[in-house]
Copies of this chain bind each other. A is one copy, B any other.
Amino acid sequence: MDKDNTIFFDKIRPMRDEIDRIDSEILLLLARRQAQVEKVVALKKAHNMPVYHPAREEDLISRLRSQATQAGMNPDYLEDLYRVILRQSRIKQTRKMALKGLRPEAKVLVVGGAGQMGAMFVRLFSRSGYEVRVLDREDWDRAPEFCKDIDLALISVPIEKTCEVANAVAPLLPPDAVMADLTSVKQAPVADMCQAHKGPVIGLHPLFGPTTDSLDKQIVVTCDGRDSDACQWVVEQLNLWGAVIVPATAGEHDAVMEIVQALRHFATFCFGDFLCQRHAPLERTLEFSSPIYRLELGMVGRLFAQDPGLYAEIIFATPERRALLKEYIQSLSRHLDMLDRNDKSGFIDQFNRVAEWFGPFSEQAMRESTFIINKLIERF
């Protein structure tokens, strides 16, 4: 080692030691933070309070961002860091809470429990100490015995079977049992269940796939059918498992889902279909592309890795949906003329109208997607 190097290492050693000391202090503080969070969780459990509190997280993040700016640090950096810290504390909290059965003495019947979604709920209820019975086509002769002292009958069958199954199960249930379904359409199934069963009815739509391994922050839409007080424990149990509950009327649910599911998946289908029709050079387009294009093309490719039957069911679910999708296609045809006339200023006018309608969401989307893009750049 030459002299300059020796001087360098003599100088850098104490600086590095100081960094190491700071890191040890940070670690001790993180351990203290974790212990404190555990106390909070214990208190919440004792008072049956929900564990995850999005508003408090956002307050904390805003406060830290402004403190960071004052301390001459990049607020995005502090935010990234605290997203990791808060996630860890959330995982610890929900893991502790996740197993808790709210009414573990209750008996749960899952009709169609051999399907993926049904199986997921069988797992969740069983882990929390509920007695769970699974009724499938092949056990139908044992249905009366399975149904007789049930507290919750969860119907997990395709949309077009829901009505039939509700009618078959209802007469076998105790009158005060809760009947619920899990389909992605709510108006007809909730009405059918109310017709079939005279006790408490609630429609549930879990907005996630059956491969999800925790309900943490996953959304479940709930649509009251009848006697919502008697259904409340089911909703609270989902919440206790970490799910975010979004209550809606069945009509509103279906209107929103026309957009969130049918229109969106159909638009993605059409885009992928056109790429295929044109034999677009996928590999080459990816080499030429920004991370955000990779992500957008990934959203399209992702659709086609999934079950076509599931998407057909979502897209063709109701006549209203099909009408909406036709309207969408017709709305695109309006632009043919603009393209023919090379009408840039017409495009800009329409762009500005839409931008105004999107309002502050656009800015927020820009911020959020920039965060995602950075994550992609880190990884790929």
Contacts and interface: CB of A to CB of B under 8 A. Distances in A.
Given A312-B347, A364-B301, A36 B64 contact: no
A12 interface: yes
Contacts of A301: 358, 361-362, 364-366
B83 A81 contact: no
A230 interface: no
Nearest to A79: B379
Contact of A332 (B12, B253, B332, B378): B332
7 contacts: A15-B43, A30-B78, A31-B71, A84-B84, A248-B288, A282-B358, A329-B332
Contact of A83 (B255, B294, B379): B379
A37 B298 CA distance: 33
A218 B288 CA distance: 10
B64 A88 contact: no
Interface in A338-380: 339-340, 342, 344-345, 347-348, 350-355, 357-358, 361-366, 368-369, 371-372, 375-380
A273 B372 contact: no
B305 A365 contact: yes
Contacts of A29: 22, 25-26, 29
> What DSSP secondary structure best describes chain A's contact surface?
helix
B305 A354 contact: no
Interface string A294-309: 1111111110111011
Contact of A218 (B15, B71, B290, B316): B290
Nearest to A272: B354
Contacts of A306: 366
B369 A246 contact: no
Contact of A40 (B16, B207, B350): B16
Copy tally for this chain in the complex stands at 2
Nearest to A292: B299
The 9 closest A-B pairs by CB, nearest first: A301-B365, A305-B362, A308-B351, A298-B365, A304-B355, A31-B71, A276-B357, A312-B344, A305-B366
Contacts of A78: 27, 30
B325 A339 contact: yes
B354 A299 contact: no
A270 to B, nearest CB: 5
B19 A33 contact: yes
A364 B377 CA distance: 16
Interface in A26-62: 26-34, 36-37, 39-40, 43-44, 47, 49, 56, 60
A366 B302 contact: yes
A331 B333 CA distance: 11
Contact of A339 (B28, B33, B326): B326
Nearest to A303: B362
Contacts of A72: 31, 34
Contact of A353 (B274, B276, B288, B292): B276
B329 A288 contact: no
Interface in A7-22: 7-8, 11-12, 15-16, 18-20, 22
A86 to B, nearest CB: 9
Interface string A205-218: 00110000000111
